[in-house]
Amino acid sequence: MAGGGFCRLPNGTVVVAVALNRPAEGTGPGGPVRVLVHAATRARALTRLRNLGLRAVYLRGNSQPPTEDEVTAVLHHPDGLLWRTAPQTGQELWHPIRALLGPTGYAGPVRPAA
């Protein structure tokens, strides 16, 4: 997956930044987004995303680690999960992960109503 990386903080935790495609809304595909995750390890950060239904999340390499501004943003958010569109256009603010996943809070397959 292109456009991802991580940085280790002095307290031993990590901040992982990953470029993903926005979950499709309706029939059209979503655009690219940059997601930030704060966790104890890289594996736990990716597991947090997978548990939200973003199954194809992998971190291969460290080509685009989070910037200092991104680290500050994710550390000051209570959930430790943020996103915004990529590439950055204008002065867009960071959004909580719930805004990306919708009201269900899960990006996995939609089950038909019974």
Quote the domain boundaries for residue 25: 4-101
Task: Confirm whether 39 is domain-assigned.
Answer: yes
Task: Confirm whether 91 is domain-assigned.
Answer: yes
Sequence-separated (6 or more) residues with CB below 8 Å from residue 107: 23, 52, 53, 54, 100, 101
pLDDT value of residue 101: 73
Cis before 87 (ω within 30):
yes
- Asked if 33 and 7 count as a contact pair (C-beta separation under 8 A), the reply is no
Task: Confirm whether 112 is domain-assigned.
Answer: no
Task: Confirm whether 85 is domain-assigned.
Answer: yes
pLDDT value of residue 114: 54
Show the tokens assigned to 8.
């280790």
Taking 50 as the pLDDT cut, the residues of the chain under it are 1, 26-28
Q: Where are the beta strands (DSSP E) in 4-100?
A: 4-8, 14-21, 32-39, 81-85, 95-96
